[in-house]
Amino acid sequence: MSKPINKIVIVGGGSAGWMTACTLIQRLENREIVLIEDPNTPTVGVGESTLGFINDWLRLLRIKDTDFMKACDATYKMSISFTDFYKKGAGTFHYPFGPIDTNGNKYAKNDWYLMKFLHPETPLSDYADSVYPIMSLVNANRISLEDNIVPGFKFSRDVAYHFDAVKFAIWLRDYFAVPKGVKHIQALVKDIATDENGIKKLVLDNGHEIYADLFIDCTGFKSLLLGETMKEPFMSFNDILPNNSAWAAQIPYDNKREEIVPYTDCWALGNGWVWNTPLWSGLGTGYVYSDKYISDEEALEEFKEHLKHKGKLREDQMFRKIKFRAGVSERLWVKNVCAIGLSAGFIEPLESNGLYSVHMFLVRLLRALDRDKEERLVTQFDKDGYNWSCRVMFDNFAQFVAMHYSMSLRNDTEYWRDVGNRSYCDVFKSLQRGSSRNESFIAAYESKYITTRFSDDGINAVATGLNHFPTDMHYIHWMNDSGFNLAEEFEQITKHLKEKKEIWDYRASKCPTVYDFTKERIYHGKE
């Protein structure tokens, strides 16, 4: 039988724990919210990269960029770049934020593919430049508060953030959660007692016993409550995602004005990929790889060689080793235990999904907890629905990340040959379970072979960067029964796309640089 949920205890701090505490104390009325964290638990600050969706969560809590960015060493972000993912030496493509410019129905994104076939020398990077107006800002390293400075651009929606995740958690704790009433207990959970309802109580190292109606696990990969205590099975993603390790470092800028760019930079190497996250004080960087194909020591040397090639290797450079697991708990809410963050699941850093899953899960949890405002009851149906919706979202995002590997044509190392030869049959079978086509790489396959037209979702940018098009010359000739002049039609498209880019580039050139804008808006003119 359902019990009212009046007291909620969060175990674990970090960004997941404090985001959870902030959300619950802000959006739930008259509930007791407690957060317990071990003050001796080490934190890993590698530079966090977010997606535009975080703005929805910030608005939910009424937090503005100017509230937290200075305290968190933050900069702005409008895209993610990918270098050498398609083939070694193939160059860079972008996954931009913001809407595409369809200009009605005639000169939409699909027409770029028609132009590409007439001019095959056109680089894959030109796709994002031609259909995403925000790329004019990204390419010029400029930004603006003005909505529609380029078509469809909206600052409050299309601009995300790079920041120090450790500092972000501290800011949420000191300037939001605790002042609003979250009870903060610094102690180690020494023992956990269970009963037929789940967790009965926590016993702390200070001797205190903690009871609650709902326990939320934010203990990271340890998954102390959901995994260790409730014994919930962990479902690995190793069948589609190869990586499980990373080396991380912080590197000072040589030219801060030029190196602070509005995108996360990802470079594919022989056994994984390198991230570059520009914070205000310096560059957060790291090498994500699989220890199945290369040892930790060899990976570090490969990373150092990359940094040396980029002129970024320092003699006294410090590196931190990180181990992670790609996967998700079979259920995220079991009896009176719910997991948020790494304790629930993790994909890998590619596509900046770490905090994305946190705030997306929190919205679902919030709506379940607040369905019954009077008695505050939560049924098993609510829990099952939560588990299903979170798993669908998480599984689909994992497939989206896997797309960067599955569609790659790299074959220069065993690592890339293996990811290209994996079986993806089970992923395609997920369609039979009701997965969302628009959020997985199935969307790209379906667009190419069934609908021959991409949707408006960002899946099209990544697929195109990997040379996977929904329209090709074979299909055009197959469908062309009207006898129109293909070359003449395509030339008109080419001309129009070029004219649009010139207008966007001109408007972007009138905006302040990302460095100057951030310096004045966030750091008040200080370095």
Q: Each residue of 476-501: pLDDT tens digit? A: 666 555 555 566 666 777 788 888 89
Check whether 85 has a pLDDT greater than 90.
Answer: yes
pLDDT in the model for residue 244:
95
Dihedral angle over CA of 347, 353, 357, 360, nearest 10? -150
Q: How large is the average pLDDT for residues 235-240?
A: 90
User: pLDDT per residue over 282-295, tens digit each?
Assistant: 999 999 999 999 99
Cα angle value 352/356/357 (rounded, 5°): 120
* DSSP secondary structure letter of residue 513: B
- What's CA 513's distance to the chain center, in Å? 25
Report which secondary-structure segment, H or E, holds 210: strand 209-210
Integer Cα distance of 56 and 172 in angstroms: 16
- Residues assigned a catalytic role: 77
* Per-residue pLDDT tens over the stretch 340-394: 999 999 999 887 778 889 999 999 999 999 989 889 999 999 999 999 999 988 9
Task: Determine the pLDDT at residue 105.
Answer: 47
Four-residue CA torsion sign, 60, 61, 67, 71: negative
What's the Cα-to-Cα distance from 339 to each of 16, 83, 177, 434, rounded to whole Å? 10, 34, 19, 23
Burial, 137: exposed, middle or buried (Cβ in 10 Å; 0-12, 13-18, 19+)?
A: buried
When the pLDDT of each residue in the chain is averaged and rounded to a whole number, the result is 89
d(CA 134, CA 150): 7
The number of angstroms, rounded, from the C-alpha of 394 to the middle of its chain's C-alpha atoms is 11
φ/ψ of residue 373, rounded to 5: -75, -25
